[in-house]
Amino acid sequence: MPAARSRGAERAIALLASVASFLAIAAITYLGLLAVTFFIGRVIPIDPVLAVLGDRAPASVVERTRREMGLDLPLLEQFYIYIKGILSGDFGRSVLTTNPVMVDIRRVFPATVELATVGTLIGSFIGVPLGVLAAVRRGSLFDQLVRAIALVGYSVPIFWLALLCLLLFYAKLHWVAFPGRIDITYEYSFEPLTGFYLIDAAWQGQWDVFRDVFRHLILPAALLGYFSMAYISAMTRSFMLNELSREYVVAARAKGLSETRIIWRHALRNAAVPMVTVIALSYAGLLEGSVLTETVFSWPGIGLYITNSLQNADMNAVLGGTVIIGSVFIAINLFADLLYRVLDPRTKPQ
């Protein structure tokens, strides 16, 4: 009995230590993100005061505004004020829209999430089976084809492929709608509830709007899905090759189990644990890396918002959007790490 209690106490201590380590990593990573964005805002050759007032503002007004913005304070004090504002959700006002940056981000971020989510679903549902079959048929023509497709996905610039797809599927074949998120016919009559247009249109039963939104969404989402599929299929193949070489697979074949059952019920189940991390990283990558895609397709997400803000020297908006994307990326990575620890018994405290 005392031995059992001792083991239980040791497991509880190990669990608390793991949780504390997890939270410490999250805090340090987020602090690093804030430090990077803060110092980027200080070293770029754009004066935030002149961005607000313009080049022709009187010197007295410039100095007064600089004091009001706290830019005359020591750097560490400015960093403290910056962190305090970020943690309270205050990113300042956008010079371009005159709105609080957080209000703008709430408006544009659902578009990016919707685009990245559909792209990740496309990449996962196609990439995982392709990776499994490529591993099973290692060295075959099919395997070489899958690897070639993945290599193209790694190598081709996304903006070049996006322009090519627009030329083919919109300008030539007319299969998809004009760049943007919704046709001007519905833009002012459709009232989104959550900001996720597909969900809102379906919830309100406006199926004509749903079809129009889908026609705008499918090409950029398929493009992102292709790049996601390239990464997911390559990693799935690698994980499956590792699992298929293990002793339990040899033992299962010796017992006479069917190859289909061995591959899809045993090997894939074990490979699914690290695949959670791969898909989560792919999703995070699409959320932060869809800037060029949104620019080419005029998709009104956070990537296009940051691009327009950068072109207009709106640094509050640029840094605010960067912090939000970085925060989401960190959160998804930490969630994937936590899920990996839960699903993999080898990482649990003994």
Domain positions in the chain: 2-87, 101-347
3-state secondary structure of 93: strand
Count of H-run helices and E-run strands, the chain = 16, 0
Provide the 10 A C-beta neighbour count for residue 178.
12
Provide the 10 A C-beta neighbour count for residue 57.
14
Token pair listed for 121 = 């679903």
What is the rounded distance in angstroms from the CA atom of residue 203 to the CA atom of residue 211? Answer: 13
Long-range Cβ pairs for the range 215-218 (8 Å, 24+): 215/176, 215/177, 216/176, 216/177, 216/178, 216/179, 216/180, 216/181, 216/182, 216/183, 217/114, 217/115, 217/118, 217/181, 218/176
pLDDT of residue 328: 85
pLDDT of residue 97: 82
pLDDT of residue 110: 92
pLDDT of residue 272: 83
pLDDT of residue 4: 55
pLDDT of residue 10: 66
Query: Within 13 Å of residue 53, how many CA atoms lie on the same side as its CB?
Result: 18
3-state secondary structure of 83: helix
pLDDT of residue 255: 84
pLDDT of residue 89: 81
In the CATH scheme, what architecture does the domain 101-347 have?
Orthogonal Bundle (1.10)
DSSP β-bridge partners for residue 206:
none
Left (φ > 0), alpha (ψ -120 to 50) or beta: where does 98 sit?
left
User: Please, which residues have CB within 8 angstroms of residue 57's CB and are 6 or more apart in sequence?
Assistant: 50, 65
pLDDT of residue 124: 93
Per-residue confidence in pLDDT tens, the chain, 350 aa? 555 556 666 666 766 776 677 778 778 888 888 888 888 777 776 667 766 666 677 777 778 877 777 777 788 888 888 888 888 888 888 877 888 889 999 999 999 999 999 999 999 999 999 999 999 999 899 999 999 998 888 888 888 888 999 999 988 888 888 888 999 888 888 888 888 999 999 999 999 999 999 999 999 999 999 999 999 999 999 999 988 888 888 888 888 888 888 888 888 888 888 888 889 888 888 887 678 888 889 899 998 898 888 877 777 888 888 888 888 888 887 787 777 777 665 555 45
pLDDT of residue 348: 52
3-state secondary structure of 100: strand
